[in-house]
Amino acid sequence: MTGGKFITNKVALITLISACLVVLVSLSVRQVFGMFFIDFNNDLGISNTEFGLAIGIQMLGWGLSGPIFGAIADKYGGHRAIITAFLFYILGVFLLYNGPNTGIYFQISLGVLIGIGCGGTAISIPMSIVGKHFPLSNRTIAMSIVTAVGSFGYFLSPLFTKYSLGANGWEQTLFIFMIFLTFGLVVAYFVRSPSLVQSNDNGFKQDTMGALKEAFQNKSYLLLIAGFFVCGFHITLVGTHVPKYVADRGLADWTAAVILSLIGFFNIIGSLLSGYLSTKISKKIILSVIYLLRGVSICIFIFLPPSTITSIFFGASFGFLWLSTVPATSGIVAHIFGTRYLGLLYGLVFLSHQFGSFFGAYLGGLFYDLYGSYDYAWYLAIALSLFAGLIHLPIKEKPVERIQTA
């Protein structure tokens, strides 16, 4: 795999462990908001379109704040960026729990504030900080570990949330989430960016505007941005609307929790395997295969008769492909441009992901309210799988000239 030790110093180890815990907490809470919809609908009068809009706004807030938190992390340290983001996250959940939480206030709490919180806590910022502590030979594996541990939250959280909603109600479940998020805020203090001396990037002098200009003049970077839009559309369509979709198809009420938990469990395997394979074979080929297989998984899920078997297959197969895009995508960004501005540059790629997430959440709800089903949203998801599978093929996986000559 590599030469030398995987963990080279204590700071790298502490940062890796702390980043894993931060992402675990953040994604555990973020993953299960779709399971609250029926309660929000009954108690707060929230419609499919309103809920989809709130999740869409959340995705945009997540994406738009990501590059800002990335720039803060790159310049002032990762812990400052993540702690600030957790404060927004906790405030959003508190307002959703304690009110006001209807109408525009629902959009502000679930949408804007929680979205901003996710921008600095969920995957991209903690993972980019970890990437700075590791050389190219180990970087994608280290970043895939962060993704995989976060995925364990995907596995446990739906099971816990299903139990807690039944036993405690949605308000007390949100209160418990605030406790989890406060723990994440404390742990975030230990997610430290390396000094320039410790960093595994080269010593090339470049400012932020220079990094942005270099990136947006690179066609491979633009193709990554376009492809990651599809990833966001897929993930949020599934995470937000599958609970209602399986209920409409007459499946047992526990089916959605099982699907989301299977997604979390198999995502651990998929993320680690993607990180490992990214050190062995072309990352763009890995990404093309993942997106095409997502389309196959969706086709089987929606075109075969609804059953427990097809639901389990979908949860397992789509889970395997869920965040396996992240190590390869972030790995290409780091490989092409280095790690000095990885938080910012990957944050911008992730912004595209969140634009896709907005449309996945909003269009799913809109299509349902207009046509009484999610069919058109699924058809669009399949078409986007083909698009993403093809658009990654022209990517050139080679460092920019300044890195090659450093």
pLDDT given at position 2: 44
pTM as predicted? 0.80
- In the chain (406 residues long), the average pLDDT of successive 10-residue segments reads 63 92 93 88 89 87 89 88 97 92 93 95 88 81 85 83 93 96 96 68 69 92 96 91 90 88 89 89 95 97 94 95 90 87 86 90 89 94 97 92 60
| pLDDT score, position 4 | 54
According to CATH, the topology of domain 10-404 is Growth Hormone; Chain: A; (1.20.1250)
Please answer whether residues 66 and 125 qualify as being in contact, where contact means their C-beta atoms are separated by less than 8 angstroms: yes
Please state, in angstroms and rounded to a whole number, the distance separating the CA atoms of residues 253 and 366. Answer: 23
Pull the structure tokens for residue 289. Answer: 């295969």
Q: What is the pLDDT of residue 318?
A: 96
pLDDT at 196: 54
8 A C-beta contact, residue 60 and residue 134: no
* Segment 307-311 long-range contacts (CB within 8 Å, at least 24 positions apart): 307/251, 308/251, 308/252, 308/255, 311/246, 311/251, 311/255, 311/258, 311/259
- The first and second tokens of residue 302, run together, are 């929606």
Specify the pLDDT at position 203: 52
340 close to 71: Cβ distance less than 8 angstroms: no
Under DSSP, the state recorded for 203 is -
Which of these, 323, 287, 331, 354, lies nearest to 151 by C-alpha position? 323
DSSP string, 292-332: HHHHHHHHHHHHSPP-HHHHHHHHHHHHHTSSTHHHHHHHH
Residue-range domain boundaries for the chain: 10-404
Q: What is the pLDDT of residue 60?
A: 87
Q: Dihedral of CA 187/193/197/198: which sign?
A: positive
